[in-house]
Structure 1
Amino acid sequence: MLLSLTGVCKTYDSGAARVDVLRGIDLVLAPGETVALTGESGSGKSTLLHLCAGLDRADGGRIEVAGRDLSGADDATMAALRRDRVGLVFQQFNLIPSLDVGANLAFQARLAGRDEPARIATLADRLGLGGLTGRYPEQLSGGQQQRVAIGRTLAARPALILADEPTGNLDEATGDAVLDLMLELVAEAGAGLLMVTHSPRLAARLSRRVHLSGGRLA
């Protein structure tokens, strides 16, 4: 499996109480599979993505990404995994303000040793960014910045994409077009996609849907 979670638990302190956010999560994701993760606000969806990305540590259970057990991995190993195998699209754009759009798009691919200028230029065009590659993040709208963030992730050809509401800042037509592109590129690369979404319409376009409620998946 590209992603495997077994009995994953996560607890946070909330004042005098402890909150069990995740209570024994089991999930597998195969190469080429796309999974929609739904649930109410505050149900732990983003927490689950952070654990899968190695940005936070589970309190119990086992997480494997591309065959690597994250429980024993140090920070350097986690960073290398995110550089080489895992692509992240979170609600914060995290673009580099000193780099123009073209350089932001190529940034992750260069780190991973997969810089392909012609492919990145094509990707920019398909994201509606072809005429904006010389601009800087501060000169873009929120929707344009989100498309740059998505393009930066796709350009690096990750084996696993973890996306938190990746089209949430886009209008419906643009969001549909961007999701079309994501699904197409995931299929071409045989990658996997785990995507948080509040939209039943978008969730229905993925291979399957899992719902997080009460700390458990259904």
Structure 2
Amino acid sequence: MLDVRDLRKFYPGEAGPVPVLRGIDLSLGPGETLALTGESGSGKSTLLHLIGGLDHPDGGSIELDGIDVTALDDAGRAALRRRTVGVIFQQFNLIPSLDVARNIAFQAKLAGQHDADWTTELAARLGLSDHLHKYPEQLSGGQQQRVAIGRTLAARPRLVLADEPTGNLDEETGAAVLGLMLRLVEETGAALLTVTHSDRLAARMGRRLHLRHGRIAR
């Protein structure tokens, strides 16, 4: 599903390019779950954004579902995100002008993969059936994160990328939301890569990698 080799990324600095990722290798198969941990500034979110095609690396390769992501232009990466990759952000990133039902369906409709029955089932599984006509501002943080998870999984992505998916939630709500996400990902057969500072969350993943100064710690 995912094969990353010798991935490198630099950002401009006053004294020259500053290395953020210094040769990352990782792989992830269908149905596998992987936690990516590390201190702030270690390159976790940068790596996630590169894999999701939100940014372009300065070296190395990313192969996703048999496609060389690094060879794609902006339009190609956007198309790949619509069809193959789902991203769950810490800040939820819901569309405030759309109600819950339309937020959940948004990504799937954009990808031309909308399945009304699956969307309805997801809403029910996520405990959102009674909130479909509400708007994001009317929801709690936990409910908003459930909507974000539903929006991502409604399109049946092959790879789910989650950036601190419970970072804005209290411990009890975060544990409940994580449990739901893991069950739904398992049932759909998607691979899951999540960036987290939480040891509790990381312990529930199948594998764990730790980034330190742009490298995977051994």
Same fold? TM cut 0.5: yes
Unaligned runs of 5+ in 2: none
CA–CA separation in structure 2 for the residues paired with 1:154 and 1:26: 26
Q: Does 1:12 align with 2:11?
A: yes
User: 1:36-55 to 2 correspondence within 5 Å?
Assistant: 36-55=35-54
What is the CA distance between 1:129 and its match in structure 2?
2.0
Contact preservation (8 Å) 2:145, 2:177: no
C-alpha deviation, 1:135, in angstroms: 1.0
How far apart in 2 are the matches of 1:131 and 1:169?
Answer: 23
The answer on whether the counterparts of 2:91 and 2:168 sit within 8 Å (CA) in structure 1 is no
User: What corresponds to 2:159 in structure 1?
Assistant: 160
Instruction: Give 1:49 deviation, angstroms.
Output: 0.4
Residue identity in the other structure for 2:33: T
Indicate the residue corresponding to 1:125 in structure 2: 124
Query: Matched residue pairs, number?
Result: 217
| C-alpha distance in structure 1 between counterparts of 2:191 and 2:58, whole Å | 25
The TM-score, its normalising length taken from structure 2, stands at 0.94
Distance in 2, matches of 1:139 and 1:182, equals: 22
- Residue by residue, what CA displacement relative to the aligned partner does 1:6-58 show, whole Å, maximum 9, x if unpaired? 00000111333432110000000011110000000111110000000111000
The residue number in structure 1 matching 2:192 is 193
Give secondary structure in 2 for the equivalent of 1:108: helix
Q: How far did 1:62 drift?
A: 0.6
Q: Aligned partners of 2:110, 2:12: CA distance in 1, in Å?
A: 36
Q: Give the TM-score taking structure 1 as reference length.
A: 0.94
1:41-190 alignment to 2 at 5 Å? Answer: 41-190=40-189
Instruction: Provide the aligned C-alpha RMSD in A.
Output: 1.5
User: Whole-Å Cα distance in 2 between the matches of residues 172 and 28 of structure 1?
Assistant: 30
Gaps of 5+ in 1: none
Whether contact under 8 Å (2:95, 2:136) holds in the other structure is yes
Task: Return the offset for 1:90.
Answer: 1.6
